[in-house]
Chain A
Amino acid sequence: MPEIDSHASAVTAENVIKQFGRFAALRGITAEFAAGKMYVVLGDNGAGKTTLLRTIAGLAQPTRGTISVLGSTSIKFVRARIGYMAHPSMLYDEMTGMENLRYFGRLYGVSSANCRNAILSVKLDPDLDRLVGQYSQGMRQRMSLARAILNDPELLLLDEPFSNVDFRSAREMSGLLVQIRDRGKTLFVVTHQPGLLESVADEFVYMESGRITDRSPKLRTVAQ
């Protein structure tokens, strides 16, 4: 594993356009994101936040333009160094949390001891004998985060990690995210609750109808 250069860019996008038929989800994104920072991505529904994350994660190919992630334009080579958490849980409802993580751990070549650690780090019990389908929304969301971080990724992409999570859990999760950032990792957090990360995020990225309209280190206080 190569040393992480904190000055290198984690993600570089050049005129990235993503279209679904006639609908354009991303309309030309050109941006550079330095490594080791926490980016909070904000915008209305349909602004293209999720599509941006999916494109970075290599789940969607841009219609036009190029995107380079962790210094590589071919996502294949860097997949092991990326973590992605989608809005749905990305877990099997009919298996327990540990069974889920052990399976996904296999895909990354992560030992089951590390899977336990990932579960512990989100404050859940690895030995809990309950199917994920019977979890509360907050627990499921945290287990989902555990899945995303189990390979200790350099680049962590989170889509709405705090949705439907009670305030206390959300605080704990954001604390964990700060720890991860402080260890030199890059984070993209799409959220509707920027308040949770207001004091800790490095940059707020504003999106509007498929474009990045503004980037600022301070949260804009917009009258809701």
Chain B
Amino acid sequence: MSFLEITRSTLIKDIRLEWRSKDAINAMLFFALLVVVIFSFSFDPDAEESRRIAGGLIWVAFLFAAVVALNQTWARELRNQVLDAYRVSPAPANPLFLAKALGNFIFVSILELLMTPLFVIFYKLRALGPAWELVPIALLGTWALVINGTFFAAISLRTRSREIMLPLLLFPISLPALLGMVNATTAVLTGDAPARFWIALLLAYDVVFTTACLFLFELVLEAE
């Protein structure tokens, strides 16, 4: 009944559930697609201009799409009161949280992998800076969205109209991460400035909030 064992089986269970129901990923993909198309309609930018705004557009699209997935993760646990089955068990709270965060990380990453080519085509993107830096930016940025997203989705379970509550709680706190992702991506695309600082900021954000989440999640889970 080790920590990792529970994390692993919870993660596998979540992926299996998502694979069978496809609640989150379908809604997320469609939503992100809509955002891409609508943005593309309303701006119709040339290559130079799109390079400057693409960083913002991409991450805003991912952020909104991620909220769909984040709301799903806990909604799934409320059906048939399964979350209580976890809560009555002797398993500690953190594996549940970590598994959920990893699951969301995987779902949002899949979304990003599928949507990025579309962005590149629609906005005629070509990075002028070191393109490989986009990989750590994507990984750290996605984790930043997902770790607090999973946490605040758990908090908003205990509120009225929880689906609206999640973005209200999540977006203000995510501001530094958002600035980091957007500016790092823009820096790489335009090649004007180094993205180093932003990557370091994202890393700091991830470390600080992963620690905070693991310290405090038990309180959130126990607050019925």
- Residues on A lying within 8 angstroms of B by beta carbon are 57-61, 76, 79-80, 82, 84, 86, 88-95, 99, 103-104, 106-109, 131, 147
With contacts A94-B21, A107-B1 known, is A88 near B80, CB below 8 A? Answer: yes
Residue from the list B1, B82, B84, B88 in contact with A92, Cβ < 8 A:
B82
> In chain B between 2 and 48, which residues have their CB closer than 8 angstroms to a CB of chain A?
5-6, 9-10, 13, 16-17, 20-21
Name the A residues within 8 Å of B79 (CB-CB): 93
11 A-B pairs whose Cβ atoms sit less than 8 Å apart in the complex: A57-B88, A79-B89, A80-B90, A84-B84, A94-B16, A94-B17, A103-B10, A104-B85, A106-B5, A107-B91, A147-B85
With contacts A82-B88, A107-B89, A107-B90 known, is A90 near B1, CB below 8 A? Answer: no
- Residues on B lying within 8 angstroms of A by beta carbon are 1, 5-6, 9-10, 13, 16-17, 20-21, 76, 79-82, 84-91, 222, 224
Name the B residues within 8 Å of A93 (CB-CB): 79-80
- The residue on A at minimum CB distance from B223 is A61
Docked pose: A95 CA to B16 CA in angstroms: 8
Q: How far is the CB of A189 from chain B (nearest CB, A)?
A: 17
With contacts A95-B17, A99-B16, A109-B1 known, is A59 near B91, CB below 8 A? Answer: no
Docked pose: A58 CA to B20 CA in angstroms: 32
Name the A residues within 8 Å of B84 (CB-CB): 59, 84, 86, 90
Docked pose: A92 CA to B82 CA in angstroms: 7
- The residue on A at minimum CB distance from B87 is A59
Name the B residues within 8 Å of A107 (CB-CB): 1, 6, 86, 89-91
The 10 closest A-B pairs by CB, nearest first: A109-B1, A107-B89, A80-B90, A107-B91, A79-B90, A90-B85, A88-B81, A106-B9, A94-B20, A88-B80
Question: B9, B17, B82 — which one has the most chain A CB atoms within 10 A of its CB?
Answer: B82
Q: Is the CB of A104 within 8 A of B21?
A: no
Docked pose: A109 CA to B90 CA in angstroms: 9
- Known contacts A94-B17, A104-B85, A108-B89; can you find 9 more A-B pairs with CB under 8 A? A57-B88, A61-B224, A88-B80, A91-B82, A92-B13, A94-B20, A95-B16, A106-B1, A106-B9
Residue from the list A84, A88, A108, A147 in contact with B90, Cβ < 8 A:
A108
Q: How far is the CB of A69 from chain B (nearest CB, A)?
A: 11
Q: How far is the CB of B157 from chain A (nearest CB, A)?
A: 14
Q: How far is the CB of B208 from chain A (nearest CB, A)?
A: 28
Q: How far is the CB of A163 from chain B (nearest CB, A)?
A: 14
- The residue on A at minimum CB distance from B16 is A95
- The residue on B at minimum CB distance from A110 is B1
Name the A residues within 8 Å of B82 (CB-CB): 90-92
Name the B residues within 8 Å of A79 (CB-CB): 88-90
Name the B residues within 8 Å of A92 (CB-CB): 13, 17, 76, 80, 82
Name the B residues within 8 Å of A147 (CB-CB): 85
Residue from the list A58, A89, A95, A106 in contact with B88, Cβ < 8 A:
A58
- The residue on A at minimum CB distance from B95 is A107
With contacts A93-B79, A104-B89 known, is A59 near B1, CB below 8 A? Answer: no
Name the B residues within 8 Å of A94 (CB-CB): 16-17, 20-21
Docked pose: A91 CA to B76 CA in angstroms: 11
- The residue on A at minimum CB distance from B86 is A107
Name the B residues within 8 Å of A86 (CB-CB): 81, 84
Name the A residues within 8 Å of B86 (CB-CB): 107
Name the B residues within 8 Å of A60 (CB-CB): 224
With contacts A95-B13, A103-B9 known, is A90 near B81, CB below 8 A? Answer: yes
Question: B5, B76, B80 — which one has the most chain A CB atoms within 10 A of its CB?
Answer: B80
